[in-house]
């Protein structure tokens, strides 16, 4: 029978060899925390269009350990309620809670620059595995974690207790932080947000760090690492690409239904300078989200099989429809905002600046605004204000 401790050591070695796991204390935590116990009652394995339920109770212990110490994200809840023990067969659904892949979890904790004595607030407890890794080093009293889903929080709390960590697990909306244990030295979010809630900055000490994934699409999002200043603002940069399920209240409702009704009235039509297909790439998607923060990119196929692409901004009643003709694209734009004009201007400026990667993006957050900019491309500067 497989020994869980040797699986943990193997995982630690994989993460170390991959350049993700660097700190000896974090290696000790990975080698000590039993990930398999945080996945109860089971997980959904990705089968492409469907999810296959696999439960602890019905799985051979060796097979279960193989799943638990693999390198993948393991989905633990679908559609805000379904767990693997409640499904008899493969199902369709949208993941709403998971144990994020170990490389991402460990990479984010490394990025937090933790030190003994730090007090941490985690938003998005999920299974509690990442909470346990931090508790192992900092001690259970120095970690507070907030989970919006009461059942997910209860399972995580039980798993943390069973692993020996009586930490502060709260059920609530993490967008509000957790004022009762503030201030924190570090705030880390393992769900994505459209913008960093000011509550996180207010609850983090001056000199402390806030780390979270920002953006509104499922790709083109970035990991913001901000240092809180004495004046109540926070500044830093996007340190890399990062993708997480969104905070529940901020999950995007996909534009669906009859798209032709949405694009019936175009005010302008022209050839594009840049192919809209670039929006399928990470950094162009990030730029589009900055240029048109409430727009969504939609992919579809025409009845003759040709590709259709759209930008829809339901809040601002605007759209851009892209039609291909002999490898060149035409854009039809309608509504008060010419979405593609704004996005294309940003894409051209970015290309002219040498196409810098996402870690060139700087971010300053105040109570009322998010200011993003890229030093080597002065026109790439966006201020999103709360009005
Ligand atoms: C990717 S999972 C967390 C992974 C987790 N850290 C782990 O290692 O298992 C994201 C979690 O965020 C939770 N969540 C979503 N919106 C939230 C919110 N507004 N406040 C707190 N938690 C939230 C989800 O219910 C989900 O459990």
Pocket lining: 75 vs ligand 1, CB cutoff 6 Å: no
Beta partners for residue 21, in sequence order: none
Alpha carbon of 339 to those of 40, 46, 144, 243, 285: distances in Å? 45, 35, 41, 24, 13
pLDDT at 327: 83
**Residue 256 confidence class, pLDDT cut points 50, 70, 90:** confident
Grouping H, G, I as helix, E, B as strand and the rest as coil, residue 160 is: helix
Question: Domain limits of the chain?
Answer: 4-241, 254-351
pLDDT digits (tens, 9 = 90+) for 347-381: 999 999 999 999 999 999 999 999 999 999 999 99
Instruction: Find the 178 Cα to ligand 1 centroid distance in Å.
Output: 14
Pocket lining: 177 vs ligand 1, CB cutoff 6 Å: no
Pocket lining: 146 vs ligand 1, CB cutoff 6 Å: yes
Rounded distance between C-alpha atoms, residue 59 and residue 167, angstroms: 29
Pocket lining: 212 vs ligand 1, CB cutoff 6 Å: no
The two counts, helices (H) then strands (E), for the chain are 10, 19
**Strand ranges for 149-282 from DSSP E:** 168-171, 184-189, 204-214, 222-228, 234-241, 268-271
pLDDT at 257: 81
pLDDT at 387: 82
Question: Which tokens go with 97?
Answer: 């809670």
Residue with token string 């990479």: 107
Question: Which tokens go with 278?
Answer: 């670039």
**Residue 244 confidence class, pLDDT cut points 50, 70, 90:** very high
CATH for 254-351 (3.90.220, 3.30.160, 3.30.530, 3.30.70): 3.30.160
pLDDT digits (tens, 9 = 90+) for 320-353: 999 998 889 999 999 999 999 999 999 999 999 9
Q: Is 52 exposed, middle or buried (0-12, 13-18, 19+ CB in 10 A)?
A: middle
**Residue 56 confidence class, pLDDT cut points 50, 70, 90:** very high
Question: Which tokens go with 352?
Answer: 């002219």
Instruction: Find the 159 Cα to ligand 1 centroid distance in Å.
Output: 15
Rounded distance between C-alpha atoms, residue 199 and residue 175, angstroms: 7
- What is the percentage of the chain residues whose pLDDT exceeds 90? 93
The strand pair at 143-147 and 120-123 is best described as parallel
pLDDT at 104: 98
**Residue 128 confidence class, pLDDT cut points 50, 70, 90:** very high
The strand pair at 95-99 and 74-78 is best described as antiparallel
Instruction: Find the 124 Cα to ligand 1 centroid distance in Å.
Output: 3
Pocket lining: 145 vs ligand 1, CB cutoff 6 Å: no
Longest distance between any two alpha carbons in the chain, whole Å? 68
Question: Taking a C-beta distance cutoff of 8 angstroms, is the pair 232, 201 a contact?
Answer: yes
State the helix-helix crossing angle for 129-138 and 24-32, rounded to 10 degrees. 130
pLDDT digits (tens, 9 = 90+) for 221-239: 999 999 999 999 999 999 9
Are domains 4-241 and 254-351 of this chain identical in fold? no
pLDDT digits (tens, 9 = 90+) for 3-41: 999 999 999 999 999 999 999 999 999 999 999 999 999
Those residues with Cβ within 8 angstroms of residue 202's Cβ, 6 or more apart along the chain or in another chain: 177, 182, 232
Mean pLDDT for the chain overall: 96
Rounded distance between C-alpha atoms, residue 291 and residue 339, angstroms: 8
Pocket lining: 56 vs ligand 1, CB cutoff 6 Å: no
Whether residue 254 is predicted with pLDDT greater than 90 in this model: the reply is no
Whether residue 255 is predicted with pLDDT greater than 90 in this model: the reply is no
Query: 224 or 258: whose pLDDT is higher?
Result: 224
Helix or strand holding residue 297 (H, E): strand 296-301
Sign of CA dihedral 111, 112, 117, 123: negative
- The residue whose CB lies within 8 Å of the most ligand 1 atoms, and thus the one to mutate among 147, 173, 252, is 147
pLDDT digits (tens, 9 = 90+) for 299-310: 998 888 888 999
Length of the chain: 387
Rounded distance between C-alpha atoms, residue 68 and residue 8, angstroms: 10
- How crowded is the C-beta side of 70, counted as CA atoms within 13 Å? 14
Whether residue 277 is predicted with pLDDT greater than 90 in this model: the reply is yes
Q: Which fold has domain 4-241?
A: Rossmann fold (3.40.50)
Sign of CA dihedral 183, 189, 191, 192: positive
Rounded distance between C-alpha atoms, residue 271 and residue 375, angstroms: 30
pLDDT digits (tens, 9 = 90+) for 82-92: 999 999 999 99
The strand pair at 184-189 and 204-214 is best described as parallel
Rounded distance between C-alpha atoms, residue 133 and residue 136, angstroms: 5
- What is the percentage of the chain residues whose pLDDT exceeds 70? 100
pLDDT digits (tens, 9 = 90+) for 145-200: 999 999 999 999 999 999 999 998 999 999 999 999 999 999 999 999 999 999 99
């Amino acid at each position: 029978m497989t020994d869980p401790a040797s699986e943990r050591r193997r995982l630690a070695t994989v993460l170390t060899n991959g350049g993700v796991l660097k700190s000896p204390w974090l290696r000790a935590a990975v080698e000590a925390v039993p990930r398999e116990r945080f996945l109860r009652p089971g997980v959904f394995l990705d089968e492409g269009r469907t999810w296959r339920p696999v439960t602890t109770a019905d799985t051979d212990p060796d097979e279960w350990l193989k799943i638990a110490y693999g390198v993948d994200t393991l989905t633990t809840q679908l559609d805000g309620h379904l767990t693997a023990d409640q499904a008899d067969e493969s199902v369709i659904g949208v993941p709403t809670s998971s144990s994020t892949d170990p490389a991402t979890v460990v990479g984010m904790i490394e990025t937090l620059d933790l030190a003994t004595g730090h007090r941490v607030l985690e938003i998005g407890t999920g299974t509690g595995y990442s909470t346990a890794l931090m508790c192992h080093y900092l001690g259970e009293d120095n970690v507070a974690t907030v989970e919006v889903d009461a059942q997910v929080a209860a399972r995580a709390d039980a798993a943390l207790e069973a692993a020996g960590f009586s930490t502060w697990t709260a059920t609530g909306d993490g967008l509000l932080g957790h004022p009762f244990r503030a201030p924190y030295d570090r705030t880390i979010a393992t769900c994505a947000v459209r913008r960093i809630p000011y509550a996180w900055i207010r609850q983090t000490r001056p000199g402390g760090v806030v780390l979270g994934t920002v953006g509104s699409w499922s790709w083109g999002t970035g990991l913001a690492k901000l240092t809180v200043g004495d004046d109540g603002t926070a500044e830093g940069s996007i340190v890399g690409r990062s993708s997480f399920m969104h905070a529940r209240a901020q999950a995007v409702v996909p534009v669906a239904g009859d798209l032709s009704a949405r694009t019936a009235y175009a005010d302008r039509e022209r050839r594009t300078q840049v192919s809209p297909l670039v929006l399928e790439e990470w950094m162009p998607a990030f730029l589009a989200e900055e240029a048109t923060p409430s727009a969504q990119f939609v992919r579809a196929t025409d009845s003759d099989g040709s590709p259709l692409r759209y930008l829809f901004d339901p809040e601002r009643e605007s759209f851009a429809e892209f039609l291909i003709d002999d490898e060149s694209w035409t854009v039809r734009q309608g509504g008060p905002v010419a979405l593609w004009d704004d996005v294309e201007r940003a894409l051209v400026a970015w290309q002219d600046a040498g196409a810098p990667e996402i870690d060139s993006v700087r971010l300053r957050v105040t109570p009322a605004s998010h200011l993003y900019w890229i030093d080597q491309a002065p026109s790439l500067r966006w201020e999103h204000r709360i009005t």
